[in-house]
Structure 1
Amino acid sequence: MRHDPAVPQELRDRDARRSQPLRGMRIIEISSYVATPLSGMTLAQLGADVIRIESAGGAADRTRLPLADSGTSLYWSGLNKGKRAIAVDLRSERGRRLVADLIVGGGRRGGIVISNSERHPDLTYEALRARQPDLIHVLLTGRRDGGTAVDYTVQAATGFPLVTGPEDAARPVNHLLPAWDVAAGLYLATGLLAAERHRLLTGEGQQVRVALEDVALATAGNLGYLAEAQLSSTPRERTGNYVYGTFGRDFTTADGERLMIVALTPRHWRELLAVTGLTEVVSALASALGADFAEESERYRHRKVLGELLAGWFETHTFAEAEAVLRTTRVLWSKYRSFSDLAADGARLLRENPLMAQVQQPGIGTHWAPGSPVVMAGEQSPPKVSPQVGEHTDEVLHTELGLSAHDVAMLREAGVIHPPTPAPKKEIDCHAATR
């Protein structure tokens, strides 16, 4: 969110409130890896006060790749923006009691926790609910029975790698994107907000459980993949870069650039044929095949012969020529970019998109980072820095539990809490790559 300095502060504050509807909601997060940190960050970007609990030195994923030159995790920093962090020894009973006090002792702003672990009996839903009956406890598990799983084992168990990749691939192909982690994180946030809505209406708390495997199964069912497997005698096959069920594939231009083209509607299809000069040729082909290419299913059925006709056009035209004609249509298309291309050639896109803003992250340096993609009343939350290990321990214990400086010092001396871990001195300037 980039403000015009001429806008009065009162109006800025009003706009900030619109984009921070969860202000006043306090959430304790005990988590690691993708889904639960993403859930907490999603809520923090909408105004919630998310306090992340970590052990001394940080959670297990604090140093996960990719890393900045300083050794700071770009992955971790990206998933934990805008949170507060405290470092507590969860192996000790006093440390766990302190965390329990934070969860249930925060008055009207407390009583909400996100976790992906049940390994501490005194931090389970049952134990905490005994102290605060209207507790909201949001838990991610690997499988519904509480068993462990990660995105890539869930991928393997639910069929997706066997229909991903080149048509002639003989082995499963895992997807780079941890789709189930991402979807689960958003389901966790949705479940938490639904439980909070229920509590506001009834005064009742509850536990919300989301299983990573269930997220994948639900998606496979919602998209029709499971029904197809049950009802069709023909199993789903790999289609490479063709888009299943419609017409879409990648094409290479005369100068070696690669485009993705998708024609979803009859209008898309007509316009694509018109600008490539293939209308009459494809009409004759339709007559010969007895096909109606106005039908999406027919375009998919004959995708290979249609694809080869279009490939011939793109192979004899440069990217600039293809771009010029495609921009006159409603056809869906994009040039393929690498992440490096997006950071370098796409610098204008990063600068001009209100989603992005520069942040100065300790241990990393200045770089473009996303805020919340949710736009509310024309405003969206800008990105904030991610906390260092234990950065807010003293602040949180003082403001949320009312502990004195002496109390905090005694806890630190006993090893229950730990001093903040400073960011590495060596930093990189990611902004340099986008100048």
Structure 2
Amino acid sequence: MNRILQGLRVVEASAFVAAPLGGMTLAQLGADVIRFDPPGGGVDAKRWPVTREGRSLYWAGLNKGKRSLAIDARQEEGQALLTRLITAPGEGNGIFLTNLRADRGWMSYEALKAHREDLIMVNLVGSSDGTSAVDYTVNCAAGFPLVTGNNAADGPPRPVNHVLPAWDALAGMNLALAILAAERHRRLTGEGQLVRLALSDVAFAMTGNLGFIQEVQVNGEERKGCGNYLYGAYGSDFETADGRRLYIVVVTDHMWKSLGKVTGLEERFAAIEARLGLDFRREGDRYQASAEISEPLRDWCGQRTLADIESTFAGTGVCWGPYRSFGQMLAEDSRVSTANPMFGEIEQPGIGSYLVPGSPLSFSACGREQPTPAPLLGEHSDEILAGELGLNQDEIDRLRRDGVVTGPVEKL
């Protein structure tokens, strides 16, 4: 069992994807992550996808391995209890992660720091200019929908939104990294700090890292959508004789030579190269000839089933992958099964038994943490109040009578 972050406690107040993912990333490495929510559940409690009975698979997916405290933070007593929990003494305590509004009131860095000088608080905001933003609005602003898919031959390009919340995913990883970096700094110096991360900055940073910004500034060029071709190298999608689809990628000279040899298209490729006056040892030249290279490959794939192609490509230097629906992925790919040690079967309360991933990280010194279920809302309320805050049963009973704490909630 990988408990590499054992002894680290993070209190989380979160919604949507990035902040819950950041907390779960740490929980899956052994940190004690305590998520608190209002007694009726937060905005994610019933977020889709849901089961036929209305249970949120979204909630269950992003909160695995955490503990849950259901508490009314609108009440002063609830705020006082949460302040004690967040600022509790101890070397691994005093860490707070949130993407909620936390610039004023009891949950602000200044208010919490008054109770623990070395507090670490990591706060995700929408936009660096103070405006609200979510993954999909940030993606629009960063230009990617206008180069996703094909640009029309005439008229303005039609934007195509992505389905994967990529900026939320990257932000979640950055939040986990921020906590570990700030905690290391505190161990070395004794100094806590407020770390702020804007979702928009995550997107704009990667836009610059990949050269999109500089392409405009230096070259004076706007990137055009190129469909399923791989910009700057060779990559394209193909249909097989049995109606399946696959994607072939060439990003090295070895891959290029292997593709020609395995398909028997070396001479056809050489003829295209000579006719266009290009050098297919160069990625950019292969990209310029994407349509011409794809023509014989399209015929080759169209004469074979997916199984035929898989057998032909096996053990070669060809880089490729089949297109799959989520159902096909689950049925066909052994990497999405318990054959992959990242996955395990869990019994999720209120939902049942199903396959879930743990951390994708595997440490040679301490192995891999096994996946654990997400908590029911307020499942650990009494445990946290007694164990972390030292309340006795009479005090906990009174808090329940007063509606300050609840849980576990079997059905939202």
Is TM-score (shorter-chain normalized) higher than 0.5?
yes
Question: What is the SS of the residue equivalent to 1:250?
Answer: strand
The one-character-per-residue Cα deviations of 1:48-84 (angstroms, maximum 9, x if unpaired) are: 1000000012111110100112211111100000000
Query: Are residues 1:152 and 2:136 paired?
Result: yes
Cα displacement (A) at 1:349: 4.2
Partner amino acid for 1:226? I
Partner of 2:385: 397
Partner amino acid for 1:158? A
Contact persistence 1:27–1:48 (CA under 8 A): yes
Cα displacement (A) at 1:133: 0.7
Range moving further from structure 2, 316-325 or 200-209: 316-325
TM-score, length-normalised on structure 2?
Answer: 0.96
- Note the 1:82-121 alignment, pairs <5 A: 82-119=65-102, 121=105
Query: Are residues 1:71 and 2:76 paired?
Result: no
Query: Are residues 1:230 and 2:217 paired?
Result: yes
- Measured at CA, do residues 322 and 109 of structure 1 come closer, stay the same or move farther in structure 2, by a change above 3 Å? closer
- Measured at CA, do residues 33 and 25 of structure 1 come closer, stay the same or move farther in structure 2, by a change above 3 Å? same
Contact persistence 1:25–1:109 (CA under 8 A): yes
- Measured at CA, do residues 99 and 146 of structure 1 come closer, stay the same or move farther in structure 2, by a change above 3 Å? farther
Partner of 2:349: 362
Question: What is the SS of the residue equivalent to 1:210?
Answer: strand
Give distance in 2, aligned partners of 1:323 and 1:28.
47
Query: Are residues 1:164 and 2:148 paired?
Result: yes
Query: Are residues 1:129 and 2:98 paired?
Result: no
Question: What is the SS of the residue equivalent to 1:350?
Answer: coil
Contact persistence 1:33–1:61 (CA under 8 A): yes
Cα displacement (A) at 1:255: 1.8
- Note the 1:6-45 alignment, pairs <5 A: 16=1, 19-45=2-28
- Measured at CA, do residues 347 and 320 of structure 1 come closer, stay the same or move farther in structure 2, by a change above 3 Å? closer
Partner amino acid for 2:228? N
Contact persistence 2:336–2:343 (CA under 8 A): no
Question: What is the SS of the residue equivalent to 2:338?
Answer: helix
Give distance in 2, aligned partners of 1:382 and 1:423.
26
Give the counterpart of 1:323 among 281, 302, 310: 310
Query: Are residues 1:301 and 2:322 paired?
Result: no
Cα displacement (A) at 1:148: 1.4
Give distance in 1, aligned partners of 2:89 and 2:403.
23
Cα displacement (A) at 1:368: 0.7
Contact persistence 1:70–1:363 (CA under 8 A): no
Partner amino acid for 1:390? G
Aligned-CA RMSD value: 1.5
Partner of 1:252: 239
Query: Are residues 1:191 and 2:174 paired?
Result: no
Give distance in 2, aligned partners of 1:129 and 1:292.
62
Give distance in 1, aligned partners of 2:15 and 2:409.
18
Query: Are residues 1:338 and 2:325 paired?
Result: yes
User: Between the two proteins, what is the percent identity of the paired residues?
Assistant: 48
Give the counterpart of 2:373 among 385, 390, 393: 385
The one-character-per-residue Cα deviations of 1:324-360 (angstroms, maximum 9, x if unpaired) are: 2211411111111100112233367413111110000
Question: What is the SS of the residue equivalent to 1:113?
Answer: strand
Cα displacement (A) at 1:108: 2.9
Range moving further from structure 2, 41-50 or 143-152: 143-152
The one-character-per-residue Cα deviations of 1:177-219 (angstroms, maximum 9, x if unpaired) are: 0000000000000011000000000000001111000000000
Give distance in 1, aligned partners of 2:131 and 2:121.
18
Cα displacement (A) at 1:276: 1.4
Give distance in 2, aligned partners of 1:351 and 1:30.
32
Give distance in 1, aligned partners of 2:331 and 2:311.
23
Question: What is the SS of the residue equivalent to 1:333?
Answer: strand
Range moving further from structure 2, 69-78 or 375-384: 375-384
Partner of 1:427: none
Give distance in 1, aligned partners of 2:118 and 2:394.
32
TM-score, length-normalised on structure 1?
Answer: 0.91
- Measured at CA, do residues 323 and 404 of structure 1 come closer, stay the same or move farther in structure 2, by a change above 3 Å? same
Give distance in 1, aligned partners of 2:341 and 2:315.
26
- Measured at CA, do residues 220 and 104 of structure 1 come closer, stay the same or move farther in structure 2, by a change above 3 Å? same
Partner of 1:432: none
Range moving further from structure 2, 103-112 or 51-60: 103-112
Which runs of 5 or more structure 2 residues have no equivalent in the other structure? none
Partner of 2:254: 267
Question: What is the SS of the residue equivalent to 1:351?
Answer: coil
Give distance in 1, aligned partners of 2:275 and 2:265.
15
Give the counterpart of 1:221 among 203, 208, 212: 208
* Count of aligned residue pairs for this structure pair: 407
